[in-house]
Structures are given as C-alpha cells and as structure tokens.
Amino acid sequence: MPDSIPRWREDFPVNWEDDHYVTRRSFTTFLTFISSALFLGTGLVALREWWQRWRPAQFTALRIAAVSDVTIGQAKLFFYPTKTDPCLLVRVAANRFVAYSQKCTHLLCPVLYQKEKKQFHCPCHEGYFALEDGRPLAGPPKRPLPRIELQVKDGSVWATGMQV
Ligand code: FES
C-alpha cells in the first residue's frame, strides 16, 4: 500500500459516496423487521377477535321500544350491547319480534331491512339474510346474522342477550 494512503483508510475502506447505499444485509434486516411487525400485529388482531367472540358474554337488559311504537312489518334501529353495535328490531307479527346485529357477517357493512321480501340486504356485495332466523340466503356471507335475544314485558321490548 502506498504511503500516501493514511492508516485509518485501511480500517475504514468504504468511500463516503458508497456509505449512502443501503446494503443487502440492511435491506433484508429491514424487510424481516417489517414482516415480523405485520405478522405480530395481525396475530394480535386475530387474538382480540377470537377473545371477543368466545369470552363469556355479559349482557345487561336494554329497553328497545314500547310494543305500540313498532307496527307490524316495521323495523327499528337500536344499539346493543354497546352504543357502537347497531341492531335492527323487526315486528313480524302482533306478538312476535326478531332482532339481529346490523353488521353483515361478510365484511361488516350495515344490512338493510326489506319489508316486502322479508329479508335483510347487504348492499356492499349483494348479501341477503332471512328475516325469520338471520341465516344467509345469497351472496358472500356464510354465517347468520348474530341474533339478539328479546323479551316482551310490561308493554316493552327488551334486549337481554346475543347469540353469536
Ligand atoms: S359486507 Fe355484506 S356482503 Fe359483503
């Protein structure tokens, strides 16, 4: 090695311009870190969903409406078990009510009640659910709408639980 090259150059042979390039090893480390973070995040979301679905549910009774407020064939929006869970109550006969979560079991779009066809329609991907039991009739949804347990007492309709 010529004398004009300082000793420190031997210890640090990378040129300043080359120092700005990302090495293959750095890039691989970065990709591994990002992939691991995504994998972990997805796992945590899946775990949270699983826990919310299978934990022992504790529902408090909620008065939805007076029986006289809902005519036969009419639907009423309410929120149960929390204020961010929209549900639909439908009076199917004089003494019979049904209620379901309004969240489509495909990708959670709100379903709409179709009185004439006695079904629920999800406009996002043309999903359909039966009014009688919430089972999927057509489209991508494979699971029924979660059913709200109801009780009629003292002239009012109460939500008392939920069947997921
Ligand atoms: S979200 Fe309802 S059919 Fe896709």
Residues 49, 70 within the same domain: no
Please name which of 86, 67, 70 lies closest in space to residue 78, comparing C-alpha atoms. Answer: 86
> 8 falls in which pLDDT band (50, 70, 90)?
confident
Mean pLDDT along residues 48-60: 78
Q: Does ligand 1 have an atom closer than 6 angstroms to the CB of 122? A: yes
Contact status, residue 98 vs residue 149, Cβ threshold 8 Å: no
Within-domain flag for 1: no
Please determine, for residue 68, whether its predicted confidence score (pLDDT) is greater than 90. yes
Residues 145, 68 within the same domain: yes
What's the pLDDT at 160?
A: 95
pLDDT digits (tens, 9 = 90+) for 16-51: 777 677 778 888 899 999 999 999 999 999 998 888
Look up residue 127 and give its amino acid.
Answer: G
User: What percent of the chain is predicted at pLDDT more than 70?
Assistant: 95
Please name which of 122, 54, 60, 124 lies closest in space to residue 88, comparing C-alpha atoms. Answer: 122
Residues 39, 12 within the same domain: yes
Whole-number Å distance, alpha carbon 23 to ligand 1 midpoint, is 45
Please name which of 53, 66, 62, 115 lies closest in space to residue 87, comparing C-alpha atoms. Answer: 62
Within-domain flag for 23: yes
Q: Does ligand 1 have an atom closer than 6 angstroms to the CB of 134? A: no
What is the overall mean pLDDT for the chain?
91
Look up residue 122 and give its amino acid.
Answer: C
Q: Which domain holds residue 83?
A: 62-163
Please determine, for residue 109, whether its predicted confidence score (pLDDT) is greater than 80. yes
Residues 25, 106 within the same domain: no
Whole-number Å distance, alpha carbon 114 to ligand 1 midpoint, is 16
d(CA 29, CA 35): 10
What's the pLDDT at 54?
A: 75
Residues 89, 27 within the same domain: no
What's the pLDDT at 26?
A: 82
Residues 33, 110 within the same domain: no
Mean pLDDT along residues 128-135: 97
Length of the chain measured in residues: 164
Q: Does ligand 1 have an atom closer than 6 angstroms to the CB of 140? A: yes
pLDDT digits (tens, 9 = 90+) for 89-107: 999 999 999 999 999 999 9
* Position in ligand 1 atom list of the atom nearest CA 141: 3
pTM: 0.70
Residues 122, 145 within the same domain: yes
Please name which of 57, 76, 59 lies closest in space to residue 68, comparing C-alpha atoms. Answer: 76
Collapse the DSSP code of 83 into the 3-class scheme (helix H, G, I; strand E, B; otherwise coil) and give the result.
Answer: coil
Residues 30, 74 within the same domain: no
C-alpha of 54 from chain center: 15
Whole-number Å distance, alpha carbon 121 to ligand 1 midpoint, is 9
Q: What is the CATH number of the domain that holds 146?
A: 2.102.10.10
| Domain count across the chain | 2
